[in-house]
Amino acid sequence: MPVSLLALALSAFAIGTTEFVIMGLLPQVASDLTVSIPSAGWLISGYALGVAIGAPIMALLTANLPRKRTLLLLMSIFIIGNMLCALAYSYHLLMLARVITALCHGAFFGIGAVVAAGLVAPNKQAQAVALMFTGLTLANVLGVPLGTWFGQLYGWRATFWAVMAIGLLAFIALLISLPVNREEKPLELSREIRALANGKLLLSLLMTVFFAAAMFALFSYIAPLLLQVTGVSNRGVSWTLLLIGAGLTAGNVLGGRLADWRLSFSLILSFSLITFFSLLFSWTSHALWLAEITLFLWAMATFATVPGLQINVVRHGADAPNLVSTLNIAAFNIGNALGAWLGGAVIGGGVGLTAVPVAAAVMALIGLFLCLLTFRKQGGNATVMACTD
């Protein structure tokens, strides 16, 4: 794997950290800016909205730029956005800074995935995408807990200064290591937009929405489930989150290999396992060790889906790789919001916390149906050939 993939992974680590670390800093931010915790929580939703709306817009605005220059521009926006977060002296300015930072998120992951796949041979593309997204999983495993700890020690602004510094390192790494593709042709906006009129592409994007909904319906409320149902301590929740992060990382790597081998089989298997382990957790959540094992396997199955989803979308939208890859990131964030809302609605409905994993399983089951529908006209070897051409 080229060393430039590590630069992309470092960038993904920085972007992932700045998205999720705010969750651990909400009490400090709310206290410092004199707002309520629920109001501070909108800083998470505002970022997700910025990703969903900004991703296709940024992809279209940068359509005629070389991909290396585009990634450097997006990382520059990321650096400026985090600097503004650190300097924000009011809630509304912090919200604006978060939205500005989010503008780079979807386009960077979308275009970065296209660049990563182009750096290697066709039979290694999903593994290359997986390596880039390893930065995102490590952001959850290391970046968020370390960023939270750093912010608790030195103030929440210090965390954003630190993330900005990581962004600068990533910018330099991209500048030095990413090759310039002399054969890259400018993209035609009309062609990019026409490429969206593809039924299987739309199904693929919906698969991503329901995958993310299945993941975040459970993940968003994992802490209250562990505390109130499993009976672990606050410290135990942190260790469980670390275990889940390890599962996400392992699943990401395994999913890349499976997707390079058989893309359709990889996605069908992953959605099936997410459905199974989500349902299983509604039962095993009452026993500590069974809950821990189930969550680790659930995490593996969950992020094993990510490389395949990204490659699948790009292959069904081959005439507009930048735009469709970026739209896939937007779809992920829409699913994120849908899953978090669904889990909250289930809890608010009074049916109990153990119903949350069941709701997540329903979302995964819909994703599995969409997956089967996407590949319905391809059977046996034909499916494999269609997905690996």
- Give 36-58 as a DSSP string: -HHHHHHHHHHHHHHHHHHHHHH
- Reported as half-sphere exposure (CB side, CA atoms, 13 A), residue 20 has a value of 23
Which structure tokens are listed for 114?
């296209």
Topology adopted by domain 197-389: Growth Hormone; Chain: A; (1.20.1250)
Give the chain's radius of gyration (CA, Å).
20
Q: What pLDDT, on the 0 to 100 scale, is given for residue 303?
A: 86
Highest mean pLDDT pick, 32-36, 194-198, 361-365: 361-365
Q: What is the pLDDT of residue 188?
A: 61
pLDDT at 385: 33
Q: Which two tokens stand for residue 371?
A: 């997956």
Q: Which two tokens stand for residue 279?
A: 């349902």
Given pLDDT bands bounded at 50, 70 and 90, which one contains residue 293? very high
pLDDT at residue 370, as a whole number: 92
pTM above 0.95, yes or no: no
E-assigned strands of the chain?
A: none
Here the tokens at position 214 are 């299945």
Give whole-number Cα distances, 42 to 94, 108, 177, in Å: 11, 23, 37
Where are the CATH 1.20.1250.20 domain residues in the chain? 1-177, 197-389
The pLDDT assigned to 128 comes to 84
387 contacts 263 by C-beta, under 8 angstroms:
yes
Confidence of residue 187 (pLDDT cuts 50, 70, 90): low
Kindly tell me if the per-residue pLDDT of 211 is higher than 90: yes
Q: Could you tell me which residues come within 8 angstroms of residue 60 by beta carbon, excluding any fewer than 6 positions away? A: 189, 192, 323
Helix 288-303 / helix 234-261 crossing angle, nearest 10 deg: 40
Percent of the chain residues topping a pLDDT of 70:
90
Higher pLDDT, 140 or 257: 257
C-alpha span between 306 and 14 (Å, rounded): 18
Q: What is the pLDDT of residue 1?
A: 65
Distances (CA, A) of 10 to 1, 112, 248, 253, 337: 15, 12, 17, 16, 26
Contacts for 235 with CB less than 8 Å, ≥ 6 apart:
none
Question: Domain 1-177 in CATH: superfamily?
Answer: MFS general substrate transporter like domains (1.20.1250.20)
Task: Give the chain's length.
Answer: 389
Token reading at 69: 């220059």
Task: Give CA–CA dist 225/237, Å, rounded.
Answer: 10
What distance, in Å, lies between the first and last C-alpha atoms of the chain?
A: 21
Q: What is the mean pLDDT of residues 303-311?
A: 86
Q: Which helix (H) or strand (E) covers residue 320, if one does?
A: none
Cβ(94)–Cβ(88) below 8 Å: yes
